[in-house]
Amino acid sequence: MKNIVIAGYARTPFTQSNKGALVKVRPDDLAAAAVRGLVERAGVAVDDIEDLVLGCAFPEGEQGFNMARLVVFLSGLPVSIGGVTVNRFCGSSMQAIHQAAGAIALGAGEVYICAGVESMTRVPMAGFNPMPNPQLAAAMPGAYVSMGETAENLARQYDISRAEQEAFAVASHQKAAAAQAAGKLSAEIVPVSGVEQDGCIRPETTAESLAGLKLAFDESGSVTAGTSSPLTDGASAVLVCSEEYARSHGLDILARIRSFAISGCAPEIMGIGPVISSRKALKRAGLSMADIDIIELNEAFASQSLACVRDLEVDLAKTNLDGGAIALGHPLGATGARITGKAAALLKREDKQFALATQCIGGGQGIATILEAV
């Protein structure tokens, strides 16, 4: 079977929905900006690209039609490149990478662009027309459970205190702020509409400032807006290709895809999804957690992240080195490509061997990718 590599990663700035600097930018334009930046930086021959796989969690309105195909046009790419929009909620753009890898492994093309986007400003979470199946909603309320509630469920089940969650959130902001200050984030960011920097990071966040926030979802719970990832606008993209192609065309290989996995769990505790999917991926890679040097664990919520940290015995010192979604933001469809691309880039930057990128998915799923240095 062919080796598959990641040979490029770029993203737009991530900014707060409804008040950030990108509220007026359409999601298809955001995605096109990330794609154009990726193609330019990776130096890939565009005519070799087979398909553009675009993840999006709420593909309607401005994110509707077949957005991937439209992004091909908006990016000025040749019409010969296909476009497919995929939806696995928050796991959408990691799924995009998995689909491309699978296709390349089967010999269905050499080069894919795998991107993701969400403007949570312009298409609200749950979309404009949430129309749940009333019978299913009555029989299985968890099928449509709110994400905040799942975070509370895990906080209770794992007895994770508010203070622990807040310490985790503070650390995320500190790491992101330090990375931003040191210019470590600018390498991956493609400026859009004159915006060059992330907008969600709050370097001034302290345990005290978080302790003063109101509970967001459950009046007897522990989760606040400060320990949840913010609503975010942003897009990301990675270049996925066969190792052979990358080498013969002199592309800058960041990492090789070693394995990946999907798993399901009870929707009420969707945040624990990464545990099973990571274990499956590790097993497929013939590795254990101890072998992993770099971890990108999506921070949908601090409670959910900490529950995964506990079950997977994750070393926090190896995790989210440049901050996670609590500080950087979580534009649903864009996150999977960000953390996978980021893990690959970190493997190279930190000169390490193995990386894990994993995230939880609403509805009760986990998704994980294991990368290795080449």
Partner 1 sequence: MEIKKVAVIGAGVMGAGIAAHISNAGIPVVLLDIVPKGVDNRNAIAEGAVQKMLKVQPAPFMHKRNARLVTTGNIEDHMELLAECDWIIEAVIERLDIKQDLYRKIDSVRKPGSVVSSNTSTIPLRDLVAEQTDAFVGDFMITHFFNPPRYMRLLEITAGEKTRADAVMGIRDFCDRSLGKGVVDCNDTPGFIANRIGIFWIQVAILEAMALGLSVEEADAVMGRPLGIPKTGVFGLSDLVGIDLMPHLMESMQRTLSKDDPFLAKSTIPELVSRMIADGYTGRKGKGGFYRINRTAGGKVKESIDLVSGEYNPSRKAQLDSLQASRQGGLKALVNHPDKGGQYARRVLAQVLGYAASLIPEIAENILAVDEAMKLGYAWKYGPFELIDRLGGSLFGQLLESEGLSLPPLIQLAAEQSFYRVQDGQLQYLDTSGIYQDVVRPEGVLLLSDIKRRSEPLAKNGSAALWDIGDGVVCLEYTSKMNAMDPDILALMREAIGIVSKEYKALVLHNEGENYSVGANLGLLLFAANIGTWDQIEEMVEGGQQTYKALKYAPFPVIGAPAGMALGGGCETLLHCDAVQAHAETYIGLVEVGVGLIPGWGGCKEMLQRWMINKRRPGGPMPAVIKCFETISTATVAKSAAEAKDYLFFRPDDGVTMNRDRLLADAKSRALALADGYQPPQPIEISLPGPTAKAAMEMAVKGFHLAGKATDHDVVVAMALAEMLSGGDTDITESLTEDDLLGLEREVFMSLIRHPDTLDRMEHMLETGKPLRN
- Residues in touch with partner 1 (CB under 8 A): 61, 128-134, 137-138, 144, 146, 148-149, 215-220
Give min distance, CB of 213 to partner 1, in A. 13
CA distance 364 to 90: 11
- Nearer to partner 1 by Cβ, of 80 and 133: the residue is 133
Give min distance, CB of 219 to partner 1, in A. 3
Q: What share of the chain is helix, strand, coil (3-state, %, to 5)?
A: 40, 20, 35
Tokens of 229: 């990832």
- Nearer to partner 1 by Cβ, of 105 and 215: the residue is 215
Distances (CA, A) of 58 to 17, 68, 122, 222: 15, 13, 11, 28
- Nearer to partner 1 by Cβ, of 42 and 223: the residue is 223
Tokens of 195: 């915006």
H helices of the chain, in order, are 27-42, 67-74, 92-105, 134-139, 147-157, 162-181, 207-211, 243-248, 273-285, 302-312, 325-328, 332-349
- Nearer to partner 1 by Cβ, of 223 and 265: the residue is 223
* Catalytic sites, residue numbers: 90, 330, 360
Judge contact between 223 and 301, C-beta under 8 A: yes
Determine the Cα angle at 290 with ends 327 and 159, to 5°: 55
Cβ contacts of 248 within 8 Å, gap of 6 or more? none
Give min distance, CB of 236 to partner 1, in A. 26
Give min distance, CB of 126 to partner 1, in A. 8
